[in-house]
Amino acid sequence: MAFTSQAVSGPSKKTCFMKNVKTILWQYSLMWLLIVSCAKDPQINLNTKPVLSFSKTSVKIGEPLYVTTTGQKSGTTVQWTTGPNGQVWSSASQDTATFLFTSPGTYNVKALFISGSGMSAYDSSTGMITVVDSIFTDTSTIHCNVIAQMNLLPNDQVNLTPISFSDTGLIFVAHTQDAYSHSPILNCGGNLPPSGGVFECDFNSTLLFPCLGSTLPAPAVGIVSFTSVTIGTFSLVFRLNGNAYQGSVTVSSTQCLITWNNKSVVTIFPLTIQKQ
């Protein structure tokens, strides 16, 4: 019996090759359309998390920290927060904030990002800053040959924090509520050491350092050091823009107890500090 060979019907190699090429081209076109669509659609973003940038990884007590955020949506409102013993000053554009801390420790700095059309935050970013147990004194400013003096704003406020009481004296960190540019240093005059049983410090102006100072807004910061502190009760006077605010300080061998009633213009907190 003879067998006759017959070709099996089916697609040729050329036909299969053409189909594979068409499939690859179709997939490539689809991928390209997806990439273009993602680029045009503002709602699609592979990395929408805003980033915080710190001017330093650690600061001293009373040293301004500058934090900047980038990557937020256009028209976003930024709300800056931090923990206790820290205060915040936001720039006009809100993408930069200045932080000031009056106690050592580790603090979280947080930025909430709020859409222009909504009231709730759509995202947030957090960073950590270490405040070392040392008082800030910006010695670099002594090399600046351009120093400007600016009167404090009429409605400014001054906040004082006692940070040290020892045999060498009673030390406060003082800072304004309003912000000034060029690394402002708060001027303080008066009875240092005390005269006639009165501790007095007068705040009227701030020094600015255009040749070295940052242009970012910051509170004017100063160190108030009352020396020759002996056991007893003394009058405590702080003047701001010519107006006097008065209380008292009672010194014992173990602590200083401050009596102070003003809570809006010149504030002091805490009112008790232990001897070190």
pLDDT tens per residue, range 183-213: 888 988 766 777 888 999 999 899 888 776 6
Q: Quote the strand ranges of 55-214, DSSP E.
A: 58-61, 65-70, 77-82, 86-90, 96-101, 105-114, 121-135, 148-151, 158-166, 169-180, 185-186, 198-203, 205-208
pLDDT surpassing 90 at residue 142: no
Which pTM value belongs to this model?
0.72
Q: Under a CB-based contact definition with an 8 Å cutoff, are residues 246 and 235 in contact?
A: yes
Tell me the one-letter amino acid at 116: G
What pLDDT score was predicted for residue 216? 78
Q: Which of the pair, 167 or 10, is modelled with greater confidence? A: 167
Q: Which of the pair, 14 or 256, is modelled with greater confidence? A: 256
Q: Which of the pair, 228 or 43, is modelled with greater confidence? A: 228
Report residue 250's pLDDT band, with 50, 70 and 90 as the boundaries. Answer: very high
Where do the domains of the chain lie, and which CATH numbers do they carry?
A: 51-134 (2.60.40.1080), 143-274 (no CATH)
Report residue 141's pLDDT band, with 50, 70 and 90 as the boundaries. Answer: low
DSSP-based three-state secondary structure for 17: helix
Beta bridge partners of 78: 113
